[in-house]
């Protein structure tokens, strides 16, 4: 049973602003649907020592860790080496993956392409009939690609493989009130519904609403009760809508 997760987002291009990170939200939503809480996300450069250190910390303090990026064929793709270092194992070529690469690229297959067949020794390959290209899993660390399209394509493997708790439930309330006006109402709901996480998110220059309130938890009835208790505290004419 997996309860907690962490994400390690890897890439110089993200920390220099050349590329916009797009995978964390996809992962968070997938994990919530499994009832797994994403508790931490770190973003680091393409540096073996730094990645290995983060993997060690996150893997020892969370049930499962997902890395994103650094598993391609180029010089700055060092995630496999770093994960191997974190667990004190060698990097080896996986022959089934190498065979897939040779079949795909045929006469164009180079040593660079075959770098994508490198895995930490002892790693497991996770795939199914619909997703033949495997995901490398080293103990409790999943090595996921950084390319958003490829990252999203791996999410069914997570849903198929990982067993979490009850899926998280979210209800949302949109109001024309600002956070200062809402605070005393929210305080009452938070105090009386401790199992429900309450969020407040203001929006500027949107004529449809000023503040979005969210109510989250794994107990759908408790979430509904908290949301309804909040709505009952609102003045006449509020909320603008409920989702």
Residue range 143-192, pLDDT digits in tens: 999 999 999 999 999 999 999 999 999 999 999 999 999 999 999 999 99
Cα separation, 7 vs 145, in Å, equals: 12
Q: Are 198 and 226 in contact (CB under 8 A)?
A: yes
Cα separation, 5 vs 117, in Å, equals: 26
Q: Are 204 and 178 in contact (CB under 8 A)?
A: no
Q: Could you tell me if 146 and 193 lie in one domain? A: no
Q: Could you tell me if 157 and 206 lie in one domain? A: no
Q: Of 161, 184, 212, at which residue does a domain stop? A: 161
Q: Of 140, 161, 182, at which residue does a domain stop? A: 161
pLDDT at residue 1, rounded to an integer:
80
Could you say which residues of the chain have pLDDT below 50? Answer: none
Tokens 């020892």 -> residue: 60
Q: Could you tell me if 117 and 236 lie in one domain? A: no
Number of domains in the chain: 2
Q: Could you tell me if 150 and 197 lie in one domain? A: no
Q: Of 116, 145, 161, at which residue does a domain stop? A: 161
Q: Could you tell me if 70 and 132 lie in one domain? A: yes
Q: Could you tell me if 126 and 215 lie in one domain? A: no
H or E, element range at 230 = helix 220-233
CATH number at 223 reads: 3.30.70.2860
């Amino acid at each position: 049973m997996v309860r907690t997760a962490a994400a390690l987002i890897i890439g110089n291009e993200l920390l220099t602003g050349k590329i916009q990170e797009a995978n964390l939200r996809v992962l968070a939503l997938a994990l919530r649907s499994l009832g797994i809480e994403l508790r931490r996300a770190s973003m680091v450069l393409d540096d073996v020592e730094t990645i290995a250190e983060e993997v060690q910390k996150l893997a020892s303090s969370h049930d499962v860790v997902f890395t994103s990026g650094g598993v391609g064929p180029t010089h700055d793709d060092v995630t496999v080496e770093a994960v191997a270092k974190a667990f004190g194992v060698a990097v080896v070529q996986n022959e089934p993956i190498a065979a897939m690469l040779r079949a795909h690229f045929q006469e164009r297959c180079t040593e660079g392409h075959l770098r994508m067949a490198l895995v930490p020794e002892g790693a497991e390959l996770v795939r199914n009939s619909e997703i033949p290209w495997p995901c490398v899993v080293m103990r409790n660390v999943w090595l996921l690609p950084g390319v958003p399209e490829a990252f999203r394509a791996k999410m069914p493997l997570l849903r198929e493989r990982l067993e979490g708790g009850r899926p998280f439930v979210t209800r949302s309330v949109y109001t024309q009130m600002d956070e200062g006006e809402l605070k005393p109402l929210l305080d009452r709901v938070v105090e009386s519904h401790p199992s429900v996480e309450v969020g407040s998110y203001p929006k500027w220059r949107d004529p449809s609403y000023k503040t979005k309130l969210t109510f989250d938890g794994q107990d759908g009835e408790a979430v509904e009760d908290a949301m309804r208790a909040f709505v009952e505290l609102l003045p006449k004419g509020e909320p603008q809508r409920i989702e």
